[in-house]
Amino acid sequence: MLCFRRGGEGNATIETVCHNPALAFHGQFLKDFNSKTCEMKRVKGTEDEFICSCNEEECNGRLIFSDGADPVSPRSDEPKLLSLLLVSLVPSGVVLVLLVSLLYFYCACRQHKLKAPATKSETCAIIIMSDDDRSDNSLNHNLELLPIQLDSSVGKGRFAEVFKARLKQASQSFQTVAVKIFPYEEYASWKTEWEIYSDAELRHENVLHFLTAEDRKASQQYWLITAYQERGNLQEFLSQHVIGWDELCRLAGSLARGVAHLHADRTPCGRAKVAIVHRDLKSANVLVKSDLTCCLCDFGLSLRLDTYTSPEELGNSGQVGTARYMAPEVLESRMDLESIESFKQADVYSMALVLWEIVSRCSATGDVREYEPPFGKLKEHPCVESMKDDVIRDRLRPEIPVSWSNHTGVHLLSSTIEECWDHDPEARLTAQCVVERLSDIISSDIIKSTGDSGSDDK
């Protein structure tokens, strides 16, 4: 049973009830209770009150007035509510859509601007500025080879030779670059280093600035083109210079920061990054920049520690590195392949030896000896077996002279070095911990008052 009442100002009241048709409703009996439609009949003695009855499903969804009144939906107030909601929400929705669209287009335009390829001259100019860490470390995908003229060889390793070279720009001027040339048979080493450098998150002031990689088919060579560091590698620099406390702080601090950045799974800005281990850290693979800070280079043996890298893949990487700088567990081939941290711990051991080299040439101790590499009393190029005898059997480490305790900063740094080359990998400090230790040492007021500065030629 449904009762309909019209009110003033176009309003209506609708009452729906279940009613026994044998009884009177509002003073009258309805005989159309079996109807399939809701035909409204005027209630006796009223002007705007109607009643209908029907028994079909949803039969009262449409009201039919037999006296010519307009059909009315019993849910007529629902469209009004919907209209009210639309009027209220649509303007807010439009504003929200506009704001989101503007934000999207802003981000898209900014990303496009960051990734937009520069002209050749712009690309070269950006990447060659070795002290400018703002440019992108991604590969240069220009199909045309860069116009480079090789000058002189500045170093040769197991897999490649490094040349000082000149890059001819559109202005006909030359910029100095370094070109690392691999023969075709050393493709794997070139590819490994190329892939490491191509990670944009590797970019760091203490990692060698990368320009591009090229396949020089005509000469059957693979090239890696990087910034050129005129001071050469750290081993050469230390053999020719005595350094002061300030120089020691710059060299040691930047070395630790470079290694910590490699090992980190986050960039300084907080972005996700794949941790990398160098696996051949030594003073010959560290370059000295013009401001006397270090940058790491030579990633031919490096390994990306992806979370999905299996122990089998890590195990297949082999015993790599330079015997003089190998950690005991590397010499003994007993790396814990279940933990990627074990590879970082081996790097920290090697870094400790490089830090020892730096301190050994510091005048702040009052006792500067001739430069020699770690375990320098051994033959020039010791093999793995001879290093096993000294490092594993005899537990030998480079000498820490008594004179190092004459300077508070050097004394504290030497303690850090000893913790980093501990025989137990688990007992070693992390590279980030070394960065923090060095920062505390350098910022100490006592050390500042006694620090010796200035460097001298050998």
**Residues with catalytic annotation?**
280
Element (H, E) at 215: strand 210-216
Cα–Cα distance for residue pair 102/96, rounded to 1 Å: 10
Query: Positive or negative, the Cα torsion across 99, 102, 104, 106?
Result: negative
**Which are the contacts of 50, defined by CB distance < 8 A and separation ≥ 6?**
3, 4, 5, 40, 41, 42, 43, 63, 65, 69
Work out the burial of residue 339: count CB atoms within 10 Å of its CB; fewer than 13 is exposed, 13-18 middle, 19 or more buried.
Answer: middle
Inter-residue contact 215 to 181 (CB < 8 Å):
no
The token pair that represents 173 in the structure block: 């001027």
Residue 435, C-beta contacts closer than 8 angstroms, at least 6 positions apart = 253, 256, 257, 260
Bridge-partner residues for 14, per DSSP? 4
DSSP string, 30-87: -S-TT-SSEEEEEPTT-SSEEEE---STTGGGSEEETTSPPPB-TTTHHHHHHHHHHH
User: How many whole angstroms separate alpha carbon 419 and alpha carbon 431?
Assistant: 11
* 9, 15, 31, 70, 336 from 60: Cα distances, Å: 24, 11, 16, 15, 78
Instruction: For residues 296 and 261, give the distance between their C-alpha atoms in angstroms, rounded to a whole number.
Output: 11
Tell me how far apart the alpha carbons of residues 51 and 110 are, in angstroms, rounded to a whole number.
67
| Integer CA distances (angstroms), 411 to 357, 359, 403, in order | 14, 10, 9
Concatenating the DSSP letter of every residue in 383-424 gives -HHHHIIIIIIS-------GGGGGSHHHHHHHHHHHHHT-SS
What distance, in Å, lies between the first and last C-alpha atoms of the chain?
111
